[in-house]
Amino acid sequence: MTSTTDTNAPHDALSHDTFWADADRHLVRYGGEFCREVIDHASGSFVFTADGRRILDFTSGQMSAILGHAHPAIVETVQRQITTVSHLYSGMLSRPVVDLARRLAGTLPAPLEKALLLTTGAESNEAAIRMAKLVTGRHEIVSFARSWHGMTQAAASATYSAGRKGYGPGAPGNFAIPAPHAYRPDFTLPDGSHDWRRQLDFAFDLIDAQSTGSLAACIVEPILSSGGIIEPPPGYFAALRDKCRERGMLLILDEAQTGLCRTGTWYAFERDGVVPDILTLSKTLGAGLPLAAVVTSAEIEQAAHERGYLFFTTHVADPLVAAVGNTVLDVLAAERLDERAAELGGLLRDGLLDIQQRHPVVGDVRGRGLLAGIELDASYDTGTSTDLVGARITRRCLELGLHMNIVQLPGMGGVFRIAPPLTIGEDELSLGLEILDHAIDDVVGGR
């Protein structure tokens, strides 16, 4: 069957209605409905629609474009590298690949020094879990009950926030533990605060009861993003590492969204002083291009190699995106974007707290650096669920010129994820907060 559109016609000749007729007829829907805007181009902190609207991007694309859109250094690197070498046989090496591996190691504490360069977060988590299983000789994987690690088999089997129903059995030996959520604690101290130590002890009592004695690894995000911007308290990861060590498990940290300056430090795990056995990076590493990495110790890499570790994919160690990764590291360091994220993150948090003061529907403000979340208060009487209220606020934000991602999952629709580019200006940050404030007021009103 032929398309209803002349594929040789210029884009400006396509009507809005024809565009959406073609989209609705020919595209597979992969995560709900599409945003009904035709995006023409993007620059800096904004995306621009075909009909001339300017939309402030408070999600860095898919939580990835940490340098904004069309950053001149990224554009120059792509243009230069595409004319030399962009893709090779996977067993061949190029200078950008070796340079990026070396430079990544230079940003990380010992013993993390061996890197595998891939494309997506799911792929890097798949590779990390595969490595952990091979090195330990075990197969059981533990992750948070509100986790998101990707849509490939092992990564999806370790993902619990969505996508588990209707696809048949996951990989055997996957277990979930509760995420330490201070705003909604399931274990409390006498003063009502979250008793995360008792929660963690209870969780691993259940793991031990279910395990067949084949615990390989625990994979977690330092701050759960899709799960609702949930940040485990100080001390949690040290205790989790100890639980892993007691059982001979490896600790894998997934810094897809928190890595590379987003939280005010180069890596979110720096706050806790806990170095993972395996680190995965993605989204932020390519600043919007498909680049991911698995980083581990020489000891683990050697053990994996001796056991015949195989992760031979079409785009492993591609030169084009590796060159982009090197440029991302250049810009992050030159512009001191870790410090900028910490500074602007303080302004963002202050603005969100101000919104919370004036809108009782906002129950909690949380996050770190330029990764922030606000959760709507389910006890506030809006006459409907927080999922629906959240969807209406999100829709109103878009109408007013702000794209702000929301976790559109049942039971979590009332949590907004905010992650603007690290290069965003203070005036743009203020504009986003102003639009959000306006949208909440339009949907539910103030005091």
Summarised one tens digit per residue, pLDDT across range 70-79 is 999 999 999 9
Q: What is the mean pLDDT of residues 206-235?
A: 97
Instruction: Label residue 380 by pLDDT band (50, 70, 90).
Output: confident
In the set 133, 283, 340, 368, the catalytic residue is: 283
| Residue 257 annotated as catalytic | yes
Q: What is the mean pLDDT of residues 421-426?
A: 98
pLDDT at 4: 37
Choosing from 257, 266, 318, 375, which is the catalytic residue?
257
Could you read off the pLDDT of 43-56 as tens digits, one per residue? Answer: 999 999 999 999 99
Task: Yes or no: say if 275 and 219 are a contact pair by the CB < 8 Å rule.
Answer: no
pLDDT mean over 377-383: 74
Catalytic: 148? yes
| Structural tokens at position 236 | 């949690």
Handedness of CA 232, 237, 239, 240 (dihedral sign): positive
Which of the following is catalytic: 138, 241, 396, 417? 417
Active-site residue, from 148, 243, 247, 377: 148
What is the structure's pLDDT at 16?
Answer: 85
pLDDT of residue 407: 65
Q: Which CATH superfamily is domain 32-63+336-444 in?
A: Aspartate Aminotransferase, domain 1 (3.90.1150.10)
Q: Evaluate if residue 13 carries a pLDDT over 50.
A: no
Q: What is the pLDDT of residue 3?
A: 38
The CATH 3.90.1150.10 portion of the chain extends over: 32-63+336-444
- DSSP helix/strand/coil, 91: coil
Position 410 confidence tier, pLDDT thresholds 50, 70, 90: low
Burial class (CB in 10 A: 0-12, 13-18, 19+), 334: exposed
Q: What is the pLDDT of residues 301-343, one digit of tens each?
A: 999 999 999 999 999 999 999 999 999 999 999 999 999 999 9
Catalytic residue among 57, 254, 255, 318: 254
Query: Is 221 an annotated catalytic residue?
Result: yes
CATH 3.40.640.10 range(s) for the chain read 75-334
75-334: what CATH class? alpha beta
In a 3-state reduction of DSSP, which class is residue 387? Answer: helix
283 part of the active site: yes
**Is the confidence at residue 246, as pLDDT, over 80?**
yes
Prediction pTM value: 0.95
Query: In terms of Cα–Cα distance, which of 269, 283, 359 is closest to 321?
Result: 283
How much is the pLDDT for 381? 67
**Catalytic member of 221, 255, 301, 318:** 221
Residue 58 has what pLDDT? 98
Give me the mean pLDDT over the 13-22 stretch.
Answer: 83
Tens of pLDDT, residues 153-188: 999 999 999 999 999 999 999 999 999 999 999 999
